[in-house]
């Protein structure tokens, strides 16, 4: 189990911010294409990304056209890729020195040649105070330096994908694993039978590369509706409870052991499974 876990912590977690922000903008081509051309889904997962562990790239929804395709991104090289339905490369576009507009023009040209209506593709719109504002949004070009930082982030996603696959396989009513373009978190959503306070019960399980809550990658397990925070149970794996603006179990990257890859995998897995168990108990009122 987790035999392919990649050692993390080679770069201090707080030093990944700029790499994360560049990558966050680079995935928007995938989201825009899915939003415009994929079959719409109620949970908006047609705009999300999946992690392809074989190709080690983010991939978008399959777009059915004269020649079906997916938009992908190599997170380390920051190269945008068009794949056919077999995962073979149709075209590649290095983002180095290119602007968002130039990137969008290239994608539209390639996608139009595959028989899809590329004119429909536009970047997704997010609340201005809830999406990172960077110079690249105002015409600056992509800078693909800091390769080591993006490799480190790719390891976080690849590692977490393994753990989430295990959770999905053993958990009833767990959704497919999605990486969401808005907050750039990779997660599954577990649905719990019944309601609490008149609302459906869910447990979100995933990883964030960092955001306003924490300036470093962190794993989270968030029960909803949020439980009372006065007496939350202890968590395994050095996890703790976040209670400001949202409630969830958290394990930050800086709290993860540096001993070895197997030790890291064991700690994060222990945290996630412990937090899922606790979250279900808090929602359903059952004893731990």
pLDDT value, residue 288: 78
pLDDT value, residue 75: 98
| Cα–Cα distance, 159 to 3 (Å, whole number) | 10
Cis peptide before 174 (omega within 30 of 0): no
Q: Indicate whether this model's pTM tops 0.85.
A: yes
> b or e along 173-185 (b: 16 or more beta carbons within 10 Å of the residue's beta carbon)?
ebbebbbbbebbb
pLDDT value, residue 142: 98
Do 185 and 194 touch, CB atoms closer than 8 A?
no
pLDDT value, residue 199: 96
The CA angle 97-54-267, to the nearest 5 degrees, is 100
pLDDT value, residue 96: 98
Strand partners, 240: 250
What residues in the chain have per-residue pLDDT under 50?
Answer: none
Do 187 and 177 touch, CB atoms closer than 8 A?
yes
pLDDT value, residue 27: 98
pLDDT value, residue 287: 82
């Amino acid at each position: 189990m987790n035999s392919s876990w990649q050692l993390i912590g080679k770069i201090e977690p707080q030093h990944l911010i700029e790499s994360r922000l560049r990558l966050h903008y680079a995935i928007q081509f995938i989201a825009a294409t899915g939003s415009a051309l994929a079959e719409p889904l109620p949970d908006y997962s047609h705009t999300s990304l999946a992690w392809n562990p074989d190709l080690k790239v983010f991939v978008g929804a399959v777009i059915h056209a004269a020649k079906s395709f997916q938009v992908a991104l190599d997170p380390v090289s920051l190269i945008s890729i068009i794949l056919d339905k077999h995962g073979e490369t149709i075209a590649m576009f290095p983002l180095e020195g290119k602007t968002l507009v130039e990137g969008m023009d290239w994608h539209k040209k390639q996608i139009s040649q595959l028989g899809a209506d590329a004119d429909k593709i536009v970047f997704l719109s997010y609340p201005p105070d809830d999406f990172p504002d960077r110079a690249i949004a105002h015409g600056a070009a992509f800078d693909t330096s800091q390769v080591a930082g993006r490799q480190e982030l790719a390891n976080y996603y690849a590692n977490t994908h393994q753990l989430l696959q295990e959770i999905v396989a053993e958990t009833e009513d767990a959704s497919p694993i999605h990486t969401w373009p808005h907050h750039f978190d990779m997660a599954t959503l577990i649905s719990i039978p019944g309601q609490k306070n008149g609302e459906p019960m869910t447990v979100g399980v995933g990883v964030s590369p960092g955001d306003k809550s924490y300036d470093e990658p962190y794993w989270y397990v968030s029960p909803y509706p949020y439980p009372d925070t006065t007496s939350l149970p202890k968590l395994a794996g050095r996890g703790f409870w976040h209670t400001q603006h949202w409630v969830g179990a958290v394990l930050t990257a800086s709290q993860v052991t540096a001993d070895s890859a197997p030790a890291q995998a064991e700690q994060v897995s222990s945290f996630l499974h412990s937090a899922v168990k606790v979250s279900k108990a808090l929602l359903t009122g059952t004893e731990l």
